[in-house]
Structure 1
């Protein structure tokens, strides 16, 4: 009867090395320049929207603005949560605008001052949470280049 081969211990899994201090965090999709390409498409849509007349032009401008905003927010989220740079006000502002838009869509009868107060409260709460997260990740309240 043949003895089973000695089981070799599997090598320890390699951990992905995070960026060092002062290094920009890597994108989850690797070195593919997705954000840069989305910004390029956004610029092309904005220019195209200025050239094209009518409803299509307005739609192209809206798509260009949306794509550009999403690309900027994605980069800000990645840098903020990696502790590279603080983007607290930008991300909090995006959350406040999202709450204001949701209130305008879901409760159109809500008066503007109340909607603004709710959006400002959401802004403040998100800013407080994001500041705590950044402080935990970087060891600082904010970073100046």
Structure 2
């Protein structure tokens, strides 16, 4: 029985280690890409800061083995998350002409006595559907 418990404990420890590694690796990857695709105006600065963060984070999380370095990497990560959230959205980019038009859609629905009756207008197409063709239904007029 104790051999089974020891075996299950080793499997659980390995699964926790794998999940921890994946969380760290994905966090470093996301933060590096967030810095690279940030709103800094200079491409060389974005590249340099992204590379510096990636190298420091990899060193701080794996070869360093000091808890203080892991805490510094975590603080930098949450700082980058805060910076990313604070970036204002904008549409003033250089777009290709075929995709430079903002999409538009409208939707209206009316119920005319029957719960299954609705008229929907979506992007200049009118789709009428009515399960029951009653006299009060305006879908069929």
TM-score (ref. length: structure 1): 0.26
Q: Relative contact order, CA 8 A, sep 6+: which one is greater? A: 1
For the pair shown, which has the larger CA radius of gyration, 1 or 2? 2
Higher helix share: 1
TM-score (ref. length: structure 2): 0.27
Higher strand share: 2
